[in-house]
Structure 1
């Protein structure tokens, strides 16, 4: 089998099974694991899979740049946002992440809702200017342009001085084994810092992120209150996530 044929086979397997186990592929094709690993390295370099120990997982669509992500699954993000807004209580304090789903949450918030919103995202803060009764606290630090959020030591320190009833957190990938992931180590650390300052943390994940993974883990399943997704309860990956004891809030 030619190298191009092997890569096509690997991509087909990834689409069907949702993962690649290098040793199983090598045994099935009668080739060395080194050959499979080389193919996976090439595919990962092209952004077509996320390499993990022993194989690969589907790559998250959130690996794209911020402008491109705004056109990805807007309907799913609106459904997730509508379900998330139902968790926000009048007079409460909300920590709201950055990203395109967080912007959908802002758009779904009632204009007359009195609440406090704490965010490390300049775009999220700016979007809240049209909500006259929302008190907005913007946490500062180095701006990570991929997600348009502040992160780094200064932002983490600022997060340690706030607290909230609810945290709505976005991630790049949601996978039963890889967990909740994102593509940047400092952004992952910032998300952990925000979640630690809230009584409840819910993950915002439209269906295109379910079953995908990025490089850095954000939080273990045990440290979140639940997952908000428009992927149906019969979705095979959602069922595997529920086996971890994760509460699913269906959006849509």
Structure 2
């Protein structure tokens, strides 16, 4: 197989799968791992894929920067934030995920008093700390460049020590066949722990997150109590959340 044919095959597989490993490509294309790595480097240099440790990601499988995400459907995200905040009384304890929709939730929570908040998002912490006798704990760890959020083993280790009344978890991608997926293993593991360390769990996702698939599955959705979105679910999406026995709330 010629180089251009191999590289086309790699890109076609990424379109279908979102991610692929060097080992799998070596097995499928029947060339050496060194040849596969050279092909991946060539395609990465041409801005046709994202190189990873041990493989590659489709550019569609890379989460947009937070500034770009903040400009997408901001009215819908604010409506979701207000609906989520309406569930929270003064004095509640909360785990709040990072992201643009959870930041809208934090804005909507500013009138509340005496909240106990655990978050991995610097901006969420800044919105709620120092007001109305709130107590805010930042979950430590490595700061993701440009995101203002912490992920990694240190973050999950700290969260393991806490349990809250509510967990408000963001979504990177949702599909009826793959469920909730994320862009990194670290983010998926943290969201799984958030869903297991709260009495009431709430997924916040505007319509732009549906019918999308990211590379890493988020497990523990059997613990999910509510989905708050800005659109009425139909077809496979509605069936998926019904099977989870999850209440779907549409924010207006």
Is TM more than 0.5 here?
yes
- Aligned partners of 1:94 and 1:118 also within 8 Å: yes
Deviation at 1:149, TM superposition (A): 1.6
Q: Secondary structure at the match of 1:219?
A: coil
Tell me by how many angstroms 1:41 deviates: 2.8
Aligned to 2:24: none
In structure 2, runs of 5+ residues without a counterpart are 1-7, 19-46, 50-59
- Which whole-Å CA distance do the structure 1 matches of 2:238 and 2:155 have between them? 35
1:16 counterpart residue number: none
1:126 counterpart residue number: 126
Change in Cα spacing, 1:67 to 1:158, as seen in structure 2 (3 Å) is same
Residue 238 of structure 1 corresponds to 237
CA contact (8 A) 1:139 1:158 kept: yes
Match of 1:152 in 2: 152
Per the alignment, residue 143 of structure 1 pairs with 143
C-alpha deviation, 1:213, in angstroms: 1.5
Q: Which residue of 1 aligns with 2:212?
A: 212
Equivalent residue for 1:39? Answer: 12
Q: Give 1:30-69 correspondences, 5 Å limit.
A: 38-41=11-14, 46=48, 63-69=63-69
Deviation at 1:146, TM superposition (A): 5.4
Distance 1:100 1:136 in 2: 19
Aligned residue for 1:54? none
- CA gap 1:159/1:112 in 2 versus in 1, 3 angstroms: closer
Aligned residues of 2:192 and 2:220 also touching (Cα < 8 A): no
Residues 1:92 and 1:243: Cα distance change in structure 2 (over 3 Å): closer
Aligned pair in 2 of structure 1 residues 41, 174: CA closer, same or farther (>3 Å)?
Answer: closer
| Offset of residue 216 of structure 1 | 0.8
Residues matched between the structures, number: 208
| Gap regions ≥5 residues in structure 1 | 1-34, 48-58
The 3-state SS of whatever aligns with 2:126 is helix
Structure 1 residues 221, 189: CA separation in 2 closer, same or farther (over 3 Å shift)? closer
Aligned equivalents of 2:115 and 2:173: distance in 1? 29
Determine the structure 2 residue equivalent to 1:84: 84
Cα offset, 1:220, TM superposition: 4.2
Q: Structure 1 residues 42, 198: CA separation in 2 closer, same or farther (over 3 Å shift)?
A: closer
Aligned pair in 2 of structure 1 residues 162, 240: CA closer, same or farther (>3 Å)? Answer: same
Please report how far the alpha carbon of residue 110 of structure 1 lies from its aligned counterpart in structure 2 after TM superposition: 4.2
Asked if the contact 1:111–1:130 (Cα under 8 Å) also holds between the matched residues in 2, the reply is no
Superposed displacement of residue 178, structure 1: 0.8
Do the aligned residues in 2 keep the contact of 1:179 with 1:220 (CA within 8 Å)?
no
TM-score, normalization: structure 1? Answer: 0.73
Aligned-pair RMSD on alpha carbons? 2.7
